[in-house]
A = this chain, B = another copy of it.
Amino acid sequence: MTATDHIQALRALLGEKGLLADAADRVAYETGARYDQGRAAFVARPASTQEVSAVVSYCVRNGIHLIPQSGNTGLVSGSTPDGTGTQGVLSLERLTAPFDLDRANRSVHVGAGMRLSDLNAKLEEHGLFFPIDLGADPRIGGMVSTNTGGSRFLRYGDVRRNTLGLKVVLADEEGTILDLSSSLRKNNTGVDWKQIFIGTSGAYGVVTECVLNLEPLPRQTATAILVPSDPKDVPELLLALEEALGSQLSALEGMSDNAVRAALDHVPSLRNPFQAGTIPPFSLLLEISRSNAPLKGEQPLDQMLEEVLGSIWEGENALLADAVIGKPHEVWALRHALSEGVKNSGRLIAFDLAFRRADVMRFLDHMKEHMPSRFPGVQICDFGHIGDGGVHFNLVVPRDDPRAADPTFEDSLRAWVVDVCVKDFHGSFSAEHAIGRKNQAFYNHYTPAELQRLGAEFKSITSPGLLGSVEFGTPASKTAAIL
C-alpha cells in the first residue's frame, strides 16, 4: 500500500474534516510552540473516542507511527512529528465533547480536546474552576500527559491531584478503549491505572476523555511583592508565610533580578514596583486567596496580609527587607511578563527544574558561582514556583555571541546544568514539562536500568504500537513507518 492508500483509508474512517493531508493544512500541526519544525504524513482529527480507537487500530495494524497532539503548547518536542515525513499527527482538537458537569461532586467529565480557557469560561457561572494556572492555554489531554503544575500548585497541586478519571485508547491492534472515567473521589478496588497515563507524554495510550476535580473560584485575593533580606532566607520565609497564612497561601513565585530587568526592558507597559528604580537580587510574588466572600465585620484581605507581613517584618529573624502590597493584576502582569522579557533578551536556553524546597536557592547560588568560569557570558534569568521547589532556569546567550547558534555549545551547557541538578542536588530535569524528544537523552541517561526495564515492559503490555515522541522502551516493532 502507498501513502495515498493509507490516507484514503483513514479518510474513509474519519470523514473529510477528520483527515488533513495537504501541506498547507498540515503546517500548524508540524510546528511546535518553541523549537520544532517537523513534517507529518497526515493529520488525523478524530471527533470521538470511538474514532480515536479506529484510527489508532488502523495505524498499529499498518505500522504507522502516530504522534498525539493536544494544544501543541508544550516545550519539550512532545507533540510534533519528527522530520522524516513518515509520522502521522493524531490531533485531539475535535474531542471537545462531552461536557458533563456534576456540581454536587465538584467534577466535570470533558473531552481531552477542550482548551483550558474554554473549560474555565464554561465553569465560571457555576463559581468553579479547574485550578491549574498556566501561562499557555493548552488542551486538557496534553495537560494530563505532561502533568502540568503551574503557579498555584502550592495551593491546588498538579494535574495528577486534580484528575479523577480518564478514558484512554491503547496502541494495540484493536485500539482498545480503557474506560477509567470514574468520578469517584475515593476508590481502592484495584490498581489505579489512570496514574500511568498521567505525565507520560502519551507513550502508553491516547487520553481522549478526562474527569476533573473542580475548585470554588477565589472570591478574595491579595498580592504582594516581597524582598527577602537575603536570598538564602527564602526557605525560612516560606515556612513563616505558611505558618502565618495556612491554606490561604495560593502562590509564592521567585523572580531573579535578571528576569525582572528583562521584563521591564521589553514590556514597556510594566511599572517597576521597587524603590527608586532599583531591582533586588531576588524577589517573591505572594498571593493569598479565599474562596469565600468576606464575612460581616471581617477585615479586607489586603489589610490582613499587611498585618501578617508586618509581624514577619518585626520578627526576630529579620527575614524581610521590603514588602509592597500591590493590586493582583499589576503584580501578576510583572510575573507573566518575565517569560516574554527573557525570550526577547537573547538566545534562550530554558530548563524546567525542580528541587527539594530548601535546595532551590542553594542550586541558584551554585550556578551563579560556577557559570562565569564554565560558560562565561551566559546570563541566568531564573524565575519560578519557589513554593513547591520548581525553577524555570533560563539561560540567555547574547545574540551577537557566536555560541548562540552553536548546537554543540547548547548541548554541553544543557548536559552540565542537568548533571548538577540531578547528581549534586537530587533534582528533577523536568518538573512539569514531561519528557518529549527534548528530554529523551536525559531519561535514558538518568533513569535506573530497572525502571527503564519496567517502562519498556509496560509499553509492551499496553501499547505495543508506535505511539508518541517518547520512547520508554523499545516498541514491539521498531520498523520505520511504511508511508
- A interface residue numbers (CB < 8 A to B): 102-107, 127, 146-147, 149, 153, 155, 157-158, 160-161, 176, 178-179, 182-193, 195-196, 198-200, 216, 235-236, 238-239, 242-248, 290-293, 295-299, 304, 307-308, 354-358, 385, 388-390, 426-435, 439, 442-443, 446-448, 450-451, 454-455, 457-458, 461-462, 472
Task: Verify B246–A184 contact, CB threshold 8 A.
Answer: no
A187-B461 in contact given A102-B358, A239-B103, A297-B299 (Cβ < 8 Å): no
In the complex, what residue of chain B is closest to A452 when comparing beta carbons?
B190
Chain B residues with CB below 8 A from A308, complex form: 295
CA of A236 to CA of B385 in the docked complex: distance in angstroms? 36
Q: Among B183, B304, B355, B451, which residue has its beta carbon within 8 angstroms of that of A184? A: B355
A390-B186 in contact given A216-B242, A356-B105, A448-B179 (Cβ < 8 Å): yes
Chain B residues with CB below 8 A from A446, complex form: 189
In the complex, what residue of chain B is closest to A76 when comparing beta carbons?
B188
Task: Verify A192–B187 contact, CB threshold 8 A.
Answer: no
Chain B residues with CB below 8 A from A439, complex form: 189
Main SS at interface, chain A? loop
Chain B residues with CB below 8 A from A105, complex form: 356-358, 389
- Most chain B beta carbons < 10 A, residue from A107, A188, A355, A443: A188
Chain B residues with CB below 8 A from A443, complex form: 189-190
Q: How far is the CB of A447 from chain B (nearest CB, A)?
A: 6
Chain B residues with CB below 8 A from A292, complex form: 243-246, 248
CA of A200 to CA of B187 in the docked complex: distance in angstroms? 11
Task: Verify B198–A192 contact, CB threshold 8 A.
Answer: yes
In the complex, what residue of chain B is closest to A194 when comparing beta carbons?
B195
Q: How far is the CB of A69 from chain B (nearest CB, A)?
A: 18
Task: Verify B243–A127 contact, CB threshold 8 A.
Answer: yes
Chain B residues with CB below 8 A from A293, complex form: 244
Q: How far is the CB of A189 from chain B (nearest CB, A)?
A: 5
CA of A295 to CA of B246 in the docked complex: distance in angstroms? 12
CA of A290 to CA of B102 in the docked complex: distance in angstroms? 28
